[in-house]
């Protein structure tokens, strides 16, 4: 069904949406969508950094530093 829309159909839908919601409402809605995308990207980046830090913590060198530490192990 959606394969048959084409350019004239998309333009008609855009005009109907613009008439129903108005320019101000649509621009504020798009601003909120942009903020949501930015927050999502930030969350993904923070999550990736956290996973990398956890992996680096697990991969730390565990060899004893002093002779006393060697005797304990």
Would you state the structure tokens that stand for residue 27, as one six-digit string?
Answer: 């621009």
CA-nearest of 57, 34, 32, 38 to 46 is: 38
22: number of Cβ within 10 Å? 11
Is the Cβ–Cβ distance between 28 and 37 less than 8 Å? no
Length of the chain: 73
Convert the pLDDT of each residue in 15-47 to its tens digit: 998 898 888 888 888 899 999 999 999 999 999
Mean pLDDT of the chain: 83
Domain ranges of the chain: 23-53
pLDDT at 11: 92
């Amino acid at each position: 069904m959606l394969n048959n829309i084409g350019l004239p159909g998309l333009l008609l839908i855009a005009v109907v949406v613009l008439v129903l919601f108005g320019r101000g409402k649509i621009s504020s809605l798009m601003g909120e969508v942009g903020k949501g995308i930015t927050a999502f990207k930030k969350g993904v980046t923070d999550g990736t950094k956290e996973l990398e830090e956890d992996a680096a913590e697990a991969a730390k060198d565990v060899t004893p530093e002093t002779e006393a530490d060697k005797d304990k192990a």
